[in-house]
Amino acid sequence: MATIELTYDRLLDRLRGLGDVVIGTVVWTVALCFAAWAVVAETGGPAGLGWAAMFVLILAAGGLMFSYADTLRGRGDDLIISGLWANVLVFGTWAVLTRTDAFAVGVVTGSVFALGAVGLTLIYGILKFAHFAHGDAMMLAAYIAFFALTGTVVGERTDTELLPWSLGDLPGATSSIPWPDQLGGGDFSFGYGLILAMIVAAVAMALVFLLLDRFVYRPLRRRGSSIVHFAITSLGVAIAMRSLMLMLWASSRRLYVPGIRPTTDLPFDVRIVTDQIFIFFTAMVLAALVYVLLFRTKLGKAMRAVSDNPDLAEVSGINPEQIIRWMWLIGGALVAVAGVMLALQAQLKPELGFILLLPLFAATILGGIGSPQGAFVGAMIVGISQEVFAAVGPDIGLSSGYKFSVAFVILILILLVRPRGLFGAKT
């Protein structure tokens, strides 16, 4: 009986490995076909080498099935992950060479997504549930910054200044921050008042997350609630946040700074809005600080220990509840900065938080749930893909308004091909 079970297990494992090899071959085929198309359509070069390489790779994959029969599943997984990276490399190269402006904007958008995705993966890594309120929290933080800067809410007919004084009343707070003329661009559209408002929003959202944990999530943890209860509760929190934004600021779209924003010329004939330079470098600095915090500090080691094994971490002298509070503080600050940066690049509207949820989850799952560096890379891929699609869409008869559907497609494909993502550990 034991021999039959062992044979069955080996057969099942080989069938699964065979499926991985087939999936990996398909992924590689997509990458090579796209590369061949790019050569023909964009540069007019010969495609024969690309197609020949594709067939050679397919034959090599077939030989792989017989050469590594005992380790077929692991080899198939290697084929999938290498194929995914090949797709990323081919798409990135094509985007850089043919859609340079869209690629640059996508990097900026991806850097904003990265802040939200890193916060999302921190929450999942420690509490093990999907925080569906993350996108709406980003927009709520953006509106808090708007309120701190202008002091206005919605009145019966027109906006009403609820605060007698706001950050925008500081001397020179709304004057444009200058950009050096030698770098070939105009000034930023905002003043230092918006930076102060962003700091206020970061502090406020960190406190909001702490209160949510104290009165909503912690009682669920003490009752031993399942992840489904946590997910549904976070969805209710998201609806409450969106309703609050609608009550206070209505559904009309708002801007931190109205009017046409200056642009800057970058190398390789790239022109972007000057504000996007500030957005990119702010996001990069914060992402670097989070990396240092997680991998070079005692607090970061404690957070990773709680994420790996909370019971063992508690026995080792780490207070899980204290780590959870730090996690909410960091996640709230990242959410706030990401929300303000996104609203600065686009605009403020309450429903944008729900739309953002899909790219954030797509980035988190693509990179690998629980991996901060994976969330960063996944966010970059999603951001670049969306902006490049927005640039290419009209050429193929599709509206650029469908660019957020790109995140949905990426999410479905990665769940089908490699659910644990690019940086996910083997189970």
Q: Give per-residue pLDDT as tens, 404-418.
A: 788 888 888 888 888
β-bridge mates for residue 266, sequence order: 270
Average pLDDT, stretch 212-226? 91
pLDDT digits (tens, 9 = 90+) for 298-307: 999 999 889 8
β-bridge mates for residue 159, sequence order: 154
pLDDT digits (tens, 9 = 90+) for 306-356: 988 888 888 888 899 999 999 999 999 999 999 999 898 888 888 888 888
What is the C-alpha separation between 84 and 86, in angstroms, rounded? Answer: 5
Considering only CA atoms, which of 296, 379, 352, 415 is closest in space to residue 118?
A: 379
Binned at pLDDT 50, 70 and 90, residue 5 comes out as very low
Global pTM? 0.85
- Asked if 345 and 275 touch (Cβ cutoff 8 Å), the reply is yes
In sequence order, the 6+-apart residues with CB closer than 8 A to the CB of 266 are: 104, 184, 272
Average pLDDT, stretch 221-227? 88
pLDDT of 93 over the 50 cut? yes
Q: Which letter, b or e, does each residue of 249-263 get, where b requires 16 or more Cβ atoms within 10 Å of its Cβ? A: beeeebebeeeebee
Average pLDDT, stretch 48-64? 54
CA 418 to chain centre: 18
What is the C-alpha separation between 152 and 197, in angstroms, rounded? Answer: 13
Rg of the chain's alpha carbons, rounded to an integer? 24
Average pLDDT, stretch 125-144? 91
What is the C-alpha separation between 208 and 202, in angstroms, rounded? Answer: 10
The Cβ of residue 5 has, within 10 Å, a number of other Cβ atoms equal to 9
The Cβ of residue 285 has, within 10 Å, a number of other Cβ atoms equal to 10
What is the C-alpha separation between 326 and 119, in angstroms, rounded? Answer: 12
Binned at pLDDT 50, 70 and 90, residue 11 comes out as very low
Angle made by CA atoms 336, 340, 380, in degrees to the nearest 5:
85
Q: Virtual CA dihedral for 13, 17, 20, 26, nearest 10 degrees?
A: -140
β-bridge mates for residue 272, sequence order: 264
What is the C-alpha separation between 374 and 381, in angstroms, rounded? Answer: 11
- Asked if 332 and 207 touch (Cβ cutoff 8 Å), the reply is yes
**Residue type at 9 in one-letter notation:** D
Average pLDDT, stretch 373-395? 87
Angle made by CA atoms 400, 405, 409, in degrees to the nearest 5:
130
Q: Is 275 exposed, middle or buried (0-12, 13-18, 19+ CB in 10 A)?
A: buried
Bigger pLDDT: 210 vs 16: 210
CA torsion sign for 229, 230, 231, 237 is positive
Q: Output the CATH code of domain 100-417.
A: 1.10.3470
| pLDDT score recorded for residue 69 | 47
Q: What are phi and psi of 184, to 5 degrees?
A: 75, 45
Across 153-157, 190-194, 276-280, 329-333, which has the greatest mean pLDDT?
Answer: 329-333
The Cβ of residue 164 has, within 10 Å, a number of other Cβ atoms equal to 7
Bigger pLDDT: 360 vs 74: 360
pLDDT of 138 over the 70 cut? yes
* Token couple for 382: 């999603």
- Asked if 256 and 80 touch (Cβ cutoff 8 Å), the reply is no
pLDDT of 145 over the 90 cut? yes
In three-state form (DSSP H/G/I as H, E/B as E, the rest C), the secondary structure along 348-362 is ECCCHHHHHHHHHHH
Q: Are strands 263-266 and 270-273 parallel, antiparallel or unpaired?
A: antiparallel
* Token couple for 12: 């099942």
Mean pLDDT of the chain: 81
